Structure 1
Amino acid sequence: MTEDPTRKHPRPDFPRQDQEHPGWTGPMDPPPDHGEDSYEGSGLLHDRKAVVTGGDSGIGRAVALAYAREGADVLFTHLREEEGEAAGTSRLVEDAGRKAVAVPCDIREEEQCRRLVERAVAEFGRIDILVNNAAYQMSQPDGIQAISTEQFDRVVRTNLYGMFWLCKLALPHIPAGGSIINSTSVQAYKPSPHLLDYATTKGAIVTFTQGLAQMLAADGIRVNAVAPGPVWTPLIPATMPDTVEFGKQAPLGRPAQPAEMAPAYVFLASPRASFITAEILNATGGTPLP
C-alpha cells in the first residue's frame, strides 16, 4: 500500500525544545527515525568497508545502519562527549551482523583526521566508501554581525577542512570502484540568512565535489554529494532558536527523518550508481534546486 509522503512522519508544530550543542537523540520530541524498524537491506554493499563521519546520530547514524544492513562494515566518528550516542549506532551496526568501529575524532584537526584514516586501514585494510557527513552550524538571527570569528572558524574547519583532509588522506586507500559521498544541503542553493556561514560552506562542498569527481574519474573513483532539506536531527534543537515550525517551509510540509536520507547514500555508494559521478542528489522535500 502506498503512503502519503506528507503524512508518513510527524509534521510541525512540534513541542518547543532546545539543547546544548552537540545535542542528543533521547530528549527529542518526536524521536528521530533512523530506520531501526523499517530499513531492509538487499546486499547492495556486501563486504564493503565504509567510513562515516558524524555517525553517532542523525543522518550519520541512519547511513551507518543502512550500510550495515546492506552488508558493509562501518567505522564512524563522534565527538568525545557523544560516546553514549555512538554506542547506540554501534549496536545497530552489530545487530545487522557487521563490524562497528566507533572513533572519537574532531575533524577540525588534521592530525586527528590522519589517525582516523590510519585506524580505518588497520581495521579494514582499505576504504571502499568515505562519507563526509559531520558538520557544524549555529543559527545567528542577528546576522553577520553576530557571527564571531571563532564561530566562523569552527564552521569552516568542521565542514570544509575536515572533508578536504579526509579525502586527501583516504585516497591512497580507496580502490577503483570506491566512492566518496559528501553531505551538502539545500542551504547551498537557497541560503537562510541566519545560517550564512554554514550555507557558505555547503556551497563550497558542491564545488569541491564536482571538481574532485572530475579529478578522480580516470581512477575509477566516484565522488557525489547528497543535498538534504530540513532533517530532524539533534543538531536542530542544539543550534536553532525555535524548533516548533521546523520543516514546515518544505513543500511536503514537514522535515525529513534521517531514515529518509539513508537510501540516497546507499544508492550513490552502490554498483547501481556506477555511471554517476560529480552529481548532487537533492533530497529537499520538494524545494526546487538548480
Structure 2
Amino acid sequence: MESASTSPFAALRGTTAVVTGAARGIGFQIAATLRGAGMTVVLVDRDADELDNATRELASPDQVVPVVAELTAQDGLAGVETRLTELPPLRVWVNNAGVVSHQDVADVDIEEFERVLRVNAATTLRGCQVAHRAMRDETDADRAIVNLSSLLADKALPQRVSYATSKTAVETVTRYAAQEWGPLGIRVNAVSPGYVDTRLTAWPSADPRQVAKQQALSALALRRAGSVEDIANAVLFLASPMAAYVTGTILRVDGGWHLA
C-alpha cells in the first residue's frame, strides 16, 4: 500500500491552492480533490450562500478558506491576495469560474458577448497575474496554474459562439503565460472538458437538450459523459510534480469527443 510520503502528490501536502468558481460543480470537486491531497484550499466564489454550503460540505476548517469575490471587478481578487499572506505557500492556482451563453451568431448581443469574454477570459488572465505575483519568488518549488477551457474552443456547436470564443482566449492566455513564466519554473496548462454531468446538465429525459446530449454521447469513443471527478483528477495531475515537465499544454478530457 502506498504511504503518504511516497505518494506522487506528497509534495502538495502542507501547501496552498486557490480555486475560483469553487462553490459548485467542477470547481467544488477540484477543491475537494486538492484538499484530499493535503492542501489548504482557498474557495473563491461570488455566491456567498453557495460558498458557505461548500465550505460546510468539505468540513475541514483548518484546510478550507472561503473568500467571497466578484472576479470581474478590477480589485476582485484583492481579498484572496490578502489571505494568501496568512497561509502556507501557494503552489497551485485553478481558474475555473465561468459562464455559458446561448445565441446564434447572427443574434449575438455585443454586450452579452463582452460579458462572457470578461467573465471567462479576462478573469482567467487576472487570476494568472495574481498567481504569478504570489509564486514568482518561490523558485525552489514546483508551482502550477491550471485553467479550465472547453472542447468548444476547437469544436463548433450551435449557439455557443460567445462561450467558445472566450475559451479560445483562455487557451491563448495559457500558452503565452507558459512561455513567459517557464524560466521562473511556473507551469501553466489548461484542461479542456467535453460533456460533463453536473447539476446544470441534469435535464429531464424528454428535454430537447437531454435528447441532443444523448445523441452526442453515442458518438463518443467512451460512450459516456464525463464526471466532475474525471476533470478534477486531470487538474490534480497537472497541478502535481507528476506533470513537472508539462507546460503550455491543453489536456483534453472529453471521452474521445474530439475524434467524433
Give the paired residue count: 243
* Residue in structure 2 matched with residue 275 of structure 1 by the alignment: 245
Q: Deviations over 1:143-185 (max 9, x none)?
A: 1233212211210111111111121123121133211000011
Classify 1:286/1:167 alpha carbon distance in 2 versus 1 (closer, same or farther; 3 Å).
same
Asked whether the equivalents of residues 40 and 88 of structure 2 are also in contact (C-alpha less than 8 Å), the reply is no
What letter is aligned with 2:24?
S
Give the AA of the match of 1:153.
E
Alpha carbons of 1:123 and 1:237: their partners in 2 closer, same or farther (altered >3 Å)? Answer: farther
Q: Which residue is 2:151 aligned to?
A: 186
SS at match of 1:135: coil
Structure 1: distance between partners of 2:99 and 2:201: 11
Pick aligned residue for 1:139 from 85, 88, 102: 102
2:197 pairs with one of 232, 245, 263:
232
What aligned pairs does 1:60-79 form with structure 2 within 5 A after superposition?
A: 60-79=27-46
Match of 2:216 in 1: 249
Residue 163 of structure 1 is matched in structure 2 by: 124
SS in 2 for 1:110: coil
- Partner secondary structure for residue 130 of structure 1: strand
Alignment of 1:203-242 (within 5 A): 203-236=168-201, 242=209
Give the aligned partner of residue 91 of structure 1: 56
The 8 Å contact of residues 131 and 145 in structure 2, kept in 1 or not, is answered as no
Shift in CA distance, 84/247, structure 1 to aligned 2, threshold 3 Å: farther
Distance in 2, Cα, partners of 1:79 & 1:267? 27
Deviations along 1:65-114, one digit per CA (max 9) or x if unpaired, are 1001100011111123xx3432332234334x751111221211121123
Partner of 2:4: none
Q: CA offsets per residue over residues 103-127 of structure 1, 9 Å max, x none?
A: 22121112112333223x2331542
Distance 2:211 2:68 in 1: 32
Which of residues 87, 108, 118 is equivalent to 2:82? 118
Is the CA contact (8 Å cut-off) linking 2:67 and 2:79 kept in structure 1?
no
Corresponding residue for residue 112 of structure 2: 151
Relative distance call for 1:242 and 1:229 in structure 2 (3 A) is same
Q: 1:234 to 1:282 in 2, by over 3 A?
A: same
Matched AA of 1:122? T
Matches within 5 A, 1:97-108: 98-108=62-72
Query: Which residue is 2:160 aligned to?
Result: 195
Residue matched to 1:57? 24
| Equivalent residue in structure 2 for 1:172, among 124, 133, 138 | 133
| Percent of pairs with identical residues | 31
Give the structure 2 partner of residue 285 of structure 1. 255
Q: Residues 44 and 205 of structure 1: is their aligned pair in 2 closer, same or farther, counting only changes over 3 Å?
A: same
8 Å contact 2:149–2:192 — kept in the other structure?
Answer: yes
Q: For residues 44 and 288 of structure 1, do their structure 2 counterparts lie closer, same or farther at Cα, with a shift above 3 Å needed?
A: farther
CA displacement at 1:271 relative to structure 2: 1.0
Q: TM-score, normalised by structure 1?
A: 0.76
Between the aligned partners of 1:127 and 1:92, the Cα distance in structure 2 is 23
Instruction: Tell me which residue corresponds to 2:3.
Output: none
- How far apart in 1 are the matches of 2:148 and 2:96? 5
Contact 1:110 1:162 in 2 (8 A): no
Q: More helix per residue: 1 or 2?
A: 2
Aligned to 1:260: 230
- Give the conservation status (yes or no) of the 8 Å contact 1:214–1:278: yes
Question: What is the RMSD of the two structures over their aligned residues, measured on CA atoms?
Answer: 2.4
Shift in Å, 1:248: 4.1
User: Which structure exhibits the higher relative contact order, with contacts defined as CA atoms closer than 8 Å and separated by 6 or more residues?
Assistant: 1
